[in-house]
Structure 1
Amino acid sequence: MDDPFFVVVLVSVLVVAVILLIGIGGFAKGGRFNRKYSNKLMRLRIVAQLIAVVLIAIYVWTRGFGG
């Protein structure tokens, strides 16, 4: 936890998880919220997931591939 870039990567993964959980909850509940926000949440999750994967790849690459 001393590495600030690791914290950024961790936060990005948590953001993806929160977006995913909100989307799943909205889908399970259905109704107006699901109709209005399901597509927007999916797009947001995809963008957040892309950012998280890129950050993870940069983190692994800059740290020497785990060695």
Structure 2
Amino acid sequence: PMVTGYIPHVGGPVSGPGAPNVLINGKPAALMGDMCVCTGPPDTIVQGCPGVTINGKPVATLGSMTS
């Protein structure tokens, strides 16, 4: 993960916007390009499953890279 000084940037909970037409456990599916809450500034999901898309965007999974 990216590091600023002693603060690692590790994507936290997804803040969206997600896919409003596909819900997983009652929440919009996370997609590449969505934002995550981070210890520092918000992170962007920059990796998804290329073979699994929703609304033309790769679906993010646990462990998808953020920046």
TM-score range, shorter chain: under 0.3
The two structures have a TM-score, normalised by structure 2, of 0.25
From the two aligned structures, give the one with the greater strand fraction: 2
Computing the radius of gyration from Cα coordinates, the structure with the larger value is 1
> TM-score, normalised on structure 1?
0.25
More contact order relative to length (CA 8 Å, sep ≥ 6): 1
The structure whose residues are more often helix, as a share, is 1
